[in-house]
Amino acid sequence: NAGVMQNPRHLVRRRGQEARLRCSPMKGHSHVYWYRQLPEEGLKFMVYLQKENIIDESGMPKERFSAEFPKEGPSILRIQQVVRGDSAAYFCASSPPSSGGARTGELFFGEGSRLTVL
Amino acid sequence: SQQGEEDPQALSIQEGENATMNCSYKTSINNLQWYRQNSGRGLVHLILIRSNEREKHSGRLRVTLDTSKKSSSLLITASRAADTASYFCASEGSSNTGKLIFGQGTTLQVKP
């Protein structure tokens, strides 16, 4: 059973370019989360999605950042017009639903996508 | 800041010794979790303790939770060099949406 798959693992972009980060949750998981980790810091919540729905985007910057989790395919975190301050590790996590459709406690994390903006 | 706080920030011990890390959080919680992160890797879930629990064990790990003080501790007994990693606590609020508030982490070095 493959874990949470993220790609690319490393991405280099110049200021003003776009970055697209992909995440395939574990099989059977319907809840996807994106977190950002700056160097030497803990993770900060960005967004929580279920299939075709954004449930909580309270941690997303208001501009340039967007996320989706389509009916088919991976979840995508998109950063437009990147700036140096966007350089960070972006982690995707997933969790399975309980029998009632609500989520359980533990999150399963991918290995992260490390974005460097030159 | 919504981030929790952990102390110490860094801890260096000899193999075989115990390591204790502390975590404080700010709001009421549904559960508190501990994760481990090796350098350059993703986070691995270690243990979850619910708000109505006071202590939990898993192998060499022991977690306590004091909701009156809004604090938790992680004890790793009989440490090994392979335990060298960063350890993060993460609190989940009562909304139960999976939005975790992470602490800044404790970097543990276990010397062989």
DSSP A17-50: --EEEEEEPPTT--EEEEEEE-TTS-EEEEEEEE
Contact check, Cβ <8 Å, B96/A42:
no
Distance CA A30, CA A82 (A): 29
In which residue are the tokens 């629990």 written? B53
**pLDDT over 90, % of chain B:** 79
- Position A101 scores a pLDDT of 52
- The reply to whether A25 touches chain B by the CB within 8 Å rule is no
Residues of B with Cβ-Cβ distance to A60 under 8 angstroms:
none
- Position A30 scores a pLDDT of 87
Indicate the pLDDT class of residue B1, thresholds 50, 70 and 90.
Answer: very low
Please tell me what DSSP assigns to residue B82. G
Dump the DSSP string for B22-80: EEE-SS-EEEEEEEEE-TTS-EEEEEEEETT-SEEEETTEEEEEETTTTEEEEEE-S--
Nearest chain A residue to B40 by CA distance is A111
Mean pLDDT, residues A63-73: 95
- The reply to whether B91 touches chain A by the CB within 8 Å rule is no
Contact check, Cβ <8 Å, B100/A43:
yes
